[in-house]
Structure formats: structure tokens, C-alpha cells
Amino acid sequence: MKQIPIPIQRTLLKTILVSCAIMAFGIIWGLVSRDHIFLGLTGTVGILSGFKILGLYRLVQQQHYEILEGIVSSDLRVPLRNRHLLTLTDMEQQEHRIMISGKNTLTPGTACRLYLSGADDQAAQVSLPEPLIPARTLLGYEFLN
């Protein structure tokens, strides 16, 4: 765990805690109501959550993520798609346009370090129209001073 950056550790910990809370609620509710179907569904949710946590942990252990540092130029929500288009200017004044899944946006003008899943393939995305650009997952971020 010492090799994993702190923002990614927080994301992993939050995922584990939410999964455990859902499992605890489901088990308690299923036992109190004596509903075996609800307990089965809770077990299924637990197994799928375990796969998600294991996949995230393996992704981080294999260091299959990208770190970008810079100043947020803009962060625009894409309507009806649960995505936002982040424009980041790095220290070499190079502009990165990244489609990120999720609704949380970053404040323009702030300096931050982003941890993104996978590797960025700018060459393949140049020819795609903006709505078809695949979204990447933001594993974590931290503000720089």
C-alpha cells in the first residue's frame, strides 16, 4: 500500500467502505425480514463489489494509470452523458483535453495532479468527434500549492 499514491488510496478505501456498508445493510435487512432473495441479491452485490475492488487494486499495482499535472483551464459538463471535458495546461504550456466519466468537475484556475486510469492515446482520438471520445476514469486528484 505504500507504493500507491494517497489520492488513489482514498478512492480504494471509499470503495471498500461503501461496499461494506451496502453489504451490512443488506445482510441486516435480509435477516430481519427473513427474505432469502434479498440475502442472495446482497451476496451478489458483495461478489461484484469484490471484483470491482480487486480490479482497481490490480490496476494500481500494475501502475496502469497516468499522472497529469497542470492548471485546469476549463471543465465542461457533457449534457446527458455523465461525463465532463477537462482541459488542462501542463508546465510546458501543452494543452490536454480529457473526457472524464462522472459528474464532479474541477474549478478552473486551480493547479492539480490527476491520476487517470489507462494511457492516453491522443493520436487515435484526434480524428474522433467530441461526443465519441471515450471517457477515462479519474482515480483521484490532489491540489498543488
Question: pTM of the prediction?
Answer: 0.80
At 74, the amino acid letter reads S
H, E, C per residue of 72-109: EEEEEEECCCCEEEEEEECCCCCEEEEEEECCCCCCCC
**Alpha-carbon 18 to chain mean position:** 14
* Burial (CB count <10 Å: 0-12, 13-18, 19+), residue 43: middle
19-70 pLDDT tens trace? 999 999 999 999 999 999 999 999 999 999 999 999 999 988 888 888 889 9
